[in-house]
Amino acid sequence: MSEFNPVLHQATRLRIMVFLVNSRVAAVTTVRDALGLTDGNLAGHLQRLETEGYVTSRRALRRLRFEVEVAITAEGNAALVEYVRALRSMIAPVEEAPR
């Protein structure tokens, strides 16, 4: 059985990464609102993802004010693809089991 990436195996971080793989770049407030997270909870998870090199953040000028944007990195995308592959290989026997 494949090992799961411990960073992505945490449910909230997985949800953040799936959101970002679909949008590529998003304002932190957009991610927060879409996933129903608090500012502090999101900040902690983003910090862990950024430490791993899975996301980057930067300040961007939007509508005459600065917002923090977060983007998935190539390394983050690859890690997510590998995580999903490992998950699929684990659940394949369940899907193929007779009912």
Q: In this structure, which long-range contacts are made by residues 12-16, counting pairs with CB atoms below 8 Å and at least 24 apart in sequence?
A: 12/37, 12/41, 12/45, 13/45, 13/48, 13/49, 14/83, 16/42, 16/45, 16/46, 16/49, 16/55
**Residue 39: predicted pLDDT:** 96
pLDDT tens by residue, the chain, 99 residues: 568 999 999 999 999 999 999 999 999 999 999 999 999 999 999 999 999 999 999 998 888 889 999 999 999 999 999 999 999 998 888 877 777
What per-residue confidence (pLDDT) applies to 99?
Answer: 75
Residue 69, φ and ψ in degrees, nearest 5: -105, 150
Give the other-Cβ count within 10 Å of 43's Cβ: 15
Tokens representing 73 are: 């990195």
Please tell me the pTM assigned to this model. 0.90
Instruction: Tell me what pLDDT residue 1 has.
Output: 52
- In CATH, 11-91 is 3.40.50.460: no
Please report, for the chain, the start and end positions of each structural domain, with discontinuous segments joined by +.
11-91
